[in-house]
Each structure stands twice: as C-alpha cells, then as structure tokens.
Amino acid sequence: MGKSSKYPSYSSGSVSVNGNNVANTSKNGNSVNTSYNMPDTEKKIYDYAQNSFLTSLPQINVFSGETQKNINSQLEAYKNRGVQTINDIYEPIMDNLKTDVASRFGNLNNSVFMDNLNKIEKNRATAISDLAQDLEAQRSTLYNNELSQRYNYLNFLNNIQNQINNNALSYMGLSQNNSAAGNAYNQSQYFANQQAKQQPIDNLLKAAQIAAMFMI
C-alpha cells in the first residue's frame, strides 16, 4: 500500500503563445521560480537596445568632429543665402541710385548721392547685423535639434525595453496565476481526499461509542 503525501502536490504554471512556451512557474526545493522565455527575435531587439544605450549614453552631449563639421556646413549655407538675399535687395537700389543721380547731376560727387548712399549703407549694415544674430540663433537651433534627436532615440530605446519588460512581467504573472489556480485545486482535492479517508475512521469511532453505551 503506497504512502500518501503529507502535503498537497505542487502545481507548476506555464503560458503558451502560438504554441510556444513563453513563461514558467515551478518549485525547486523551498523556492518558487518564475521565468520568462524570451523569443530569439525579441532577445535580439532587447540586446540591441541595451548595447545602444551602452554606446550612446556616454556620448549623449558630446559632439564629434563630423557632427561639428555638418553643423558648420549648414550654418555656412544659411549665411550664404542670407548674404545673397541682402545683395539681391540692396544692389539694385544702389544701381538705381547711381543711374538716377548721374542722369540728373552728371556725376556722383554730390550731396544727394552721398546722403542716399549713407541711408542705404545704414540699412544694409542693419540687415547684416540681423543676419549675424540669426546665425547665432540658427546655431543654437541646430545644436538643440541634434540633442533632441539623440534624446528621442534614447527614449525610443527605453520604450522598447520597457515594453519587453512589461510583456515579460505580464506573462510571468499569468504563469503564477495558473500555478496558484492549480495549487488551490490540488489543496481542495487533498483535503477532500483526507476527509474521505478520515470519514470511515470517524464512523467506526462513533459506532464503537454507541456499542459501548449499550454494554454498560
């Protein structure tokens, strides 16, 4: 006759997705362990995010020579467009002034030409000063855009990792719930079996008590 267990049997838990076992809960000695079986494709994504963090984070605020060169190239193009715009505005004005004064006075050596020339040059100097300020603002914008892209990339990697971690925790929770449900069932069955085994003994004891009462 086999010896019955002193305790209810332990029920492990698992979760399968599309036929693949993704999470397990089991008991080893006095420890209950839950593991997430990360698919190969997901592991590659997770490892890529981790490695990218490792290489990108120390350099997040460091601008390489190539990055600096690229920003300076964009600033140079921005400056050239600004200078061309200023020239396109003021060179025709200068030409018209020369033509007008020469036709009226026969030469440019007069106060009318010089007064108008000074006004034009003052306006052009203001435009050049504004362009210089725009260049500094554009420099800040380019640097901020570069930093924003880097932080957005790290945030993207962080979201990937968090999503995988959340999936793992969710599946492990389901595995633990399955194990708990199995253990609750095993416990109820165990106590039901124990009660069923104890019932004949209780019946015999009651019968013996009744018989003893009639023998007095």
Q: What is the pLDDT of residues 104-123, one digit of tens each?
A: 777 778 888 788 889 999 99
- What length is written for the chain? 216
- Give domain status of residue 192, yes or no: yes
- Give domain status of residue 10, yes or no: no
Tell me: pLDDT of 207 over 80.
Answer: no
Tell me: pLDDT of 143 over 90.
Answer: yes
Overall domain count for the chain: 1
Tell me: pLDDT of 1 over 50.
Answer: no
Instruction: Tell me the three state secondary structure of residue 169.
Output: helix
More confident residue, 112 or 86: 86
DSSP state of 1: -
- Give domain status of residue 149, yes or no: yes
For tokens 């306006």, the residue is: 123
pTM: 0.70
For tokens 């009226």, the residue is: 104
- Give domain status of residue 158, yes or no: yes
> Do residues 135 and 79 lie in contact, with contact meaning Cβ atoms separated by under 8 Å?
yes
What would you report as the CA-atom Rg of the chain, rounded to the nearest whole angstrom? Answer: 43
Confidence of residue 40 (pLDDT cuts 50, 70, 90): very high
> Do residues 36 and 23 lie in contact, with contact meaning Cβ atoms separated by under 8 Å?
yes
Confidence of residue 60 (pLDDT cuts 50, 70, 90): very high
- Give domain status of residue 87, yes or no: yes
